[in-house]
């Protein structure tokens, strides 16, 4: 048996103060822990919603589902909320629940090593700390991926990644180029097509787009939400279950399901009915199955790309020059602004932080082949170290808040094992990790992500990295840990 520690004695560090880090602070304090510190490398909370401020930024999850279950928000302006409202929501939640008192800002953890039963942490600033428990709430999409295009540094105009948007750069009437056509690129084009003097969307691979209207909530509806919070909970339940997220998840994990075929028919009809010019329509038509890449939801991209100021550029880029983008065809597209909507390095997680577990085992070596974790929560030989939205979780399947809340409830049960003296260290066993990964990889090959396209869902060996099972299985797994799958050390 471990030494029983009072909850007031157990020292817990949370890495990151985005959505999941804030949640961790709230739930840990609620559970009776008091020695909690959140280390945040930036100067304020918010994670991806702090870093992404590009024009048109909108969540693609229903606002009442992208909300903590314990903190419904009747003030959302639209069905799919804009980024600044989401950032404000997390800032308000941080203050309301006292999480701001736990946060050390401008402190980036560069090394985390397990020594003599505790975690020793080192910050870039030189600060050092120790913890009994570490929770990595570092997020998935926070390391910008820069495109490998010759001459990017030669461009004389304004150039920046979409996650580092420069709001001092004028856009109205300017010649604007957007490289990248995932969700971010699509949202930027929709926002700027009517503002730019000329807008060029550089498309390497066409995307399937699901029409998704985004109506505003009226003041009458908001008043009803304030008076009866169950109305918001009902919206969340409808989005998360039935024909909503649950059905979508089943379609993703069974490429030949009736639901998947229905999704494909819907996005094909959206393209056919929305784009009038047959030549443009064919350039916008993907050559892979719908949802093989992350599904794009947009109410108006097809309308925006047909705007008189907009131009879809499908000729390959040769290089960037001082005045603009040179295509392989020889054409030079002169630009004033070049925005790189080229996504993120989705396989980094806690890295570049150096993470060293029991007996000197290094995360970089454990993850040399691919990032992996048991149920996306725990890594063998990294005791009392847990992850929210870690590798192989349902990123892209469900609302990240729903995922994080369920994972945090699961992690709390593991932390309680230590707090109650049932063990001093807990981590997934190597056998459970191997068995889970074998089953996961087998199931992943039957998902829509494995149907023949390149995407950030795929690992270095082309295997889909996201949760390949049903929503129900995820909910069931997160209900209660199977302690036989864990190594408990007294």
Q: Which domains does the chain have, with CATH numbers?
A: 11-143+346-489 (3.50.50.60), 152-207+293-340 (3.50.50.60)
Identify whether the C-beta of residue 395 lies closer than 8 Å to the C-beta of residue 466.
yes
Averaged pLDDT, 432-440:
96
Q: Is 68 exposed, middle or buried (0-12, 13-18, 19+ CB in 10 A)?
A: buried
Percent of the residues in the chain that have a pLDDT greater than 70, as a whole number: 97
How many angstroms separate the CA atoms of 258 and 267, rounded? 15
Write out pLDDT tens, residues 43-72.
Answer: 999 999 999 999 999 998 899 999 999 999
Please report, to the nearest 10 degrees, the dihedral formed by the alpha carbons of residues 21, 22, 26, 27 taken in order. Answer: -30
Query: 411: number of CA atoms within 13 Å, CB side?
Result: 33
Averaged pLDDT, 412-431:
97
Residue 341 Cα distances to 165, 184, 221, angstroms: 10, 6, 35
Q: What is the pLDDT of residue 128?
A: 98
Tokens of 466: 């996201």
Higher pLDDT, 344 or 322: 322
Tokens of 414: 């593991």
How many angstroms separate the CA atoms of 30 and 12, rounded? 14
List strands edge to edge, sheet with 332-334: 317-320, 324-327, 332-334
Range of 135-139, 349-353, 367-371, 482-486 with top mean pLDDT: 482-486
Residue 127 Cα distances to 102, 104, 106, angstroms: 16, 11, 11
How many angstroms separate the CA atoms of 280 and 107, rounded? 49
Q: Does pLDDT of 242 surpass 80?
A: no
Q: What is the pLDDT of residue 395?
A: 76
Higher pLDDT, 2 or 32: 32
What residues contact residue 92 under an 8 Å CB cut-off, 6+ apart? Answer: none
Q: What is the pLDDT of residue 84?
A: 97
Averaged pLDDT, 140-159:
90
Q: Does pLDDT of 4 surpass 60?
A: no
Q: What is the pLDDT of residue 488?
A: 97
Tokens of 98: 């006292």
Higher pLDDT, 371 or 327: 327
Mean pLDDT of the chain: 93
Query: pTM of the entire structure?
Result: 0.94
Averaged pLDDT, 348-370:
90
Query: Which helix (H) or strand (E) covers residue 437, if one does?
Result: helix 430-444
Q: What is the pLDDT of residue 343?
A: 85
Q: Does pLDDT of 454 surpass 90?
A: no
Given CA atoms 380, 384, 385, 386 in this order, what sign does their dihedral have? positive
Q: Does pLDDT of 106 surpass 70?
A: yes
Place of tokens 């990123």: 395
């Amino acid at each position: 048996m471990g030494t029983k520690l009072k909850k007031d004695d157990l020292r817990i560090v949370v890495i990151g103060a985005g959505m999941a880090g804030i949640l961790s602070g709230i739930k840990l304090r609620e559970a009776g822990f008091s020695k909690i510190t959140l280390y945040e490398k930036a100067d304020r909370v918010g994670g991806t919603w702090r870093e992404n401020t590009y024009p048109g930024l909108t969540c693609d999850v229903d606002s009442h589902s992208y909300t903590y279950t314990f903190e419904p928000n009747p003030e959302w302006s639209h069905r799919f909320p804009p980024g600044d409202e989401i950032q404000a929501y997390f800032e308000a939640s941080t203050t309301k629940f006292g999480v701001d008192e736990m946060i050390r800002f401008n402190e980036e953890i560069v090394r985390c090593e397990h020594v003599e039963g505790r975690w020793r942490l080192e910050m870039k600033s030189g600060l050092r700390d120790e913890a009994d428990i570490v929770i990595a709430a570092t997020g998935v999409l926070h390391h910008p991926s820069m495109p490998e295009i010759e001459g990017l540094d030669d461009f004389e105009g304004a150039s920046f990644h979409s996650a580092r948007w420069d709001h001092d750069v004028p856009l109205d009437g300017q010649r604007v180029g957007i490289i990248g056509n995932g969700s971010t690129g699509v949202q930027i084009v929709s926002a700027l097509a009517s503002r730019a003097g000329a807008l060029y969307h550089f498309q390497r691979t066409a995307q399937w787009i699901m029409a998704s209207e985004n109506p505003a909530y009226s003041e009458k509806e908001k008043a009803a939400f304030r008076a009866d919070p169950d109305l918001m909970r009902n919206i969340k339940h409808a989005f998360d279950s039935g024909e909503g997220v649950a059905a979508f998840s089943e379609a993703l994990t069974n490429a030949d399901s009736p639901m998947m075929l229905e999704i494909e028919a819907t996005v094909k009809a959206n393209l056919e009915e929305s784009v009038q010019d047959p030549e443009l329509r064919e350039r916008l038509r993907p050559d892979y199955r719908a949802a093989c890449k992350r599904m794009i939801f947009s109410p108006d991209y097809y309308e925006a790309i047909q705007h008189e100021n907009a131009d879809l550029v499908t000729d390959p880029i040769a290089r960037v020059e001082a005045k603009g983008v040179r295509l392989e065809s020889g054409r030079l597209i002169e630009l004033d602004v070049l925005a790189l909507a080229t996504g993120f390095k989705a396989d980094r997680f806690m890295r570049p932080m150096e993470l060293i577990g029991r007996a000197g085992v290094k995360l970089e070596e454990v993850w040399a082949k691919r990032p992996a974790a048991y149920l996306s929560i725990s890594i063998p030989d990294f005791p009392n170290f847990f992850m929210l939205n870690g590798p192989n979780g349902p990123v892209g399947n469900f609302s990240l808040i729903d995922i994080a809340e369920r994972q945090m409830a699961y992690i709390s049960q593991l932390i309680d094992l230590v707090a109650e003296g049932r063990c001093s260290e807990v981590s997934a066993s190597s056998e459970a990790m191997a068995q889970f990964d074998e089953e996961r990889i087998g199931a992943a090959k039957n998902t829509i992500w494995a149907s023949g396209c390149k995407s950030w869902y795929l690992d270095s060996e082309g295997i889909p990295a996201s949760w390949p099972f049903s929503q129900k299985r995820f909910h069931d797994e997160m209900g209660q840990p199977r302690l036989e799958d864990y190594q408990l050390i007294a």
